[in-house]
Chains A and B, each alone.
Chain A
Amino acid sequence: MGILSKAISFTAKTMRSAFKCKPKVKVKLDGKYIPFSDAKNMVDFGKVKVKYNVKPDISMPVSPTTLNGSKPALRIRKNNLTGELDDAVEKELGNVSIRLSKGYEDALPRAKQEIEGIFAGQDISVRAKGANSVYSKLKKKVLDKGIVIRSDSAASKIVKDAIGGRVTMKNLTQADIVDTLKTIKIDNKALTTEEQNIIMKFFKQESLTQAELKIAQKYSRPVKLALAEKQSAPVFNQVMLSSLKHSVETGATTIEKLEKSGVSPDIIKELKANYNKIKPMKITELENYTGHQGIPYFSDKQIAQFREMQLATGNTFDIVTCSEAKRFSKSLTPLEEQAMKDSGYTTAQFNVELSNGSLAEIQVRGKGPFGEVEHIAYDSRRNKNTLGPVYDEYQAAAKGLSADDYKEYNKYLSACYDYYRDIELGIKSTKPKLPSKFNPILSEDNMIRLHAIDDAEQAAKKVGFVPHIDIAA
């Protein structure tokens, strides 16, 4: 059990080879796509203006003559006088981004196999970060944080989600609710049969007496939290087992030490029983967001187990959550505390290091569609240039809201989150209505409709599209 896996000892060698990617880009000449290796004999790239069309509507700077170098031809840094990147620097950043994304594409099959192995039995999708995404991230870091990039490997360390995975958890059923109501203990007491029946009626939106409603409202939140824990239990177990295996394999701890720690005896038992089948994985960060009164994907008990694991293994990764005023109330002004209430954005994700050194971000989501579209509201308010023309009318309406109106709109968005979260937990719920004072275009239904239109448009444009270097006329 203390033997280092071959996959881990492969890490350093694989990382070195990942940064020697020579992307085989194409050049569009006279309407045809020609390999760059041929095109460079036909065109003097030192004398023409070029751009790299990475997607149908998205292009980025590139320097074809240094694209196949092993590192940027010059240091990628902000020009402190202009506050921007110089042209030549932008082109080198484009090159770095193309090389890295090619490396991520090459690493994807193995990463996919590894992540699918860790989360066997789950609905999981895995993708590699594209060149434009890498470019945007690196540019933001250089401009906002003053980072200087001297090598492709240094740039790769900044891109923490080279590989992106998403685990989509199944919705719970009536049977899951019945089971939870029978087994849950609230303040160390089990629910009576009468209380269980009342909560079941409440979750089915059946009519209740005033007295029954009071009981239902008292217990509904602890029951929902227990349901959420049940929903994420399979994923939670897989993450714990893989992380513990990594720690045992690398000698950070032993099974004997884990047995004396606060890690759940059930998890340790499973670790011992299935040790050889478990794929190792190192967590580098965990994020568990939920808005005010929201239902998180990882429960307090599960987070407590992650913390016990940190202490038992010495793997001190940060746990990031929505801010809690109570933790800092003695250091904040009343206005600042007030400002800490935010949207119902509910998601969990963790950053990991795979056995080949690739950095991956794994999102944990339910099946609700709102997580896909929720960013539209925020990107609109913050003037982010990430939304296509199909969102123009929505953006104008969102930007036009006063601060007070936006707060009220946020409450509506939070209620939409709560609605979808209820559905995930097997609870019947009523979709909230957009308050009549708001432009109907701001409704959640409309956000989902626009997202679907945008997706379809983007998919149609991608048909037959080949990423390529375009030469300006």
Chain B
Amino acid sequence: MIKLERNEFMKVIRTQEKPKVDINESITKLVNNIKKNAQNYVSDTQYYRPVDESMRNESDKLFCKAYSLSVEQTPDNTGRHFLSLNMLHPKMRIQTSRTLAAGNKQEILEFLNKEDINKLIKTNLSEMSENLQEK
């Protein structure tokens, strides 16, 4: 039989603290991921599956399970795409979405390269989070 002192026992069962993730870092990572994949997969001339990149929410300032950026073609025009910001409710039954930009591939990538893109996303996430709390 293994005998453990109480302190050692508690160390075994105590949940490890997750390192807190800075939301700004998460947004930067999200934008970099979507830029990379949009560059590779978005096409102005043929059909492609929507490009989605998401981050699990680790911030207590946002009321959501996860948030994501998507690039997808508009239904009627192969050469036009929507860049959307999406947010998943903590109970995961509903999601909310805002369209940040529309245009051809070049215009979408230019939008993602804007200096204030992180700030824009953070502001929108904050507003979407407030609205999601009402649901």
Cross-chain contact B50 with A326 (CB below 8 angstroms): yes
Counting chain A CB atoms within 10 Å of each CB, the highest count among B50, B55, B84, B96 belongs to B96
Q: Which of A160, A311, A324, A331 contacts B134 (CB 8 A)?
A: A160
Residue B93, interface by CB 8 Å: yes
Cross-chain contact B82 with A307 (CB below 8 angstroms): yes
Residue A437, interface by CB 8 Å: no
Provide the residues of chain A in CB contact with B66, threshold 8 Å: 328, 331-332
Q: A300-B75, A327-B68 are in contact. Are A320 and B92 (CB under 8 A)?
A: no
Cross-chain contact B53 with A330 (CB below 8 angstroms): yes
Cross-chain contact B89 with A318 (CB below 8 angstroms): no
Cross-chain contact B76 with A304 (CB below 8 angstroms): yes
Q: Which of A160, A319, A327, A342 contacts B54 (CB 8 A)?
A: A327
* Nearest chain B CB to A137 CB, angstrom units: 10
Give CA–CA (A329, B52) in the complex, Å. 9
Q: A301-B76, A330-B54 are in contact. Are A323 and B94 (CB under 8 A)?
A: yes
Residue A336, interface by CB 8 Å: yes
| Interface size counted on chain A using CB atoms at 8 A | 31
Cross-chain contact A324 with B95 (CB below 8 angstroms): yes
Provide the residues of chain B in CB contact with A340, threshold 8 Å: 92-93
Task: Name the prevailing secondary structure of the B interface residues.
Answer: strand
Residue B65, interface by CB 8 Å: yes
Q: A304-B74, A319-B97 are in contact. Are A331 and B92 (CB under 8 A)?
A: no
Residue B70, interface by CB 8 Å: yes
Name B68-101 residues within 8 Å CB distance of A: 68, 70, 74-77, 80, 82, 84, 86, 88-89, 92-99, 101
Q: A307-B99, A342-B93 are in contact. Are A327 and B52 (CB under 8 A)?
A: yes
Name B29-88 residues within 8 Å CB distance of A: 50, 52-56, 65-66, 68, 70, 74-77, 80, 82, 84, 86, 88
Give a binary string over A284-314; 1 marks a CB under 8 Å from any B CB, 0 the rest. Answer: 0100010000000000110010011011000
Closest 4 CB pairs of A and B: A331-B56, A331-B66, A307-B99, A331-B54
Q: Which residues of B contact A (CB under 8 A)?
A: 50, 52-56, 65-66, 68, 70, 74-77, 80, 82, 84, 86, 88-89, 92-99, 101-102, 124, 128, 131, 133-135
Apart from A328-B54, A336-B92, what 13 extra A-B contacts exist at CB < 8 Å?
A262-B74, A310-B99, A320-B135, A323-B94, A324-B95, A327-B86, A327-B95, A328-B66, A328-B86, A330-B52, A330-B53, A331-B56, A331-B66
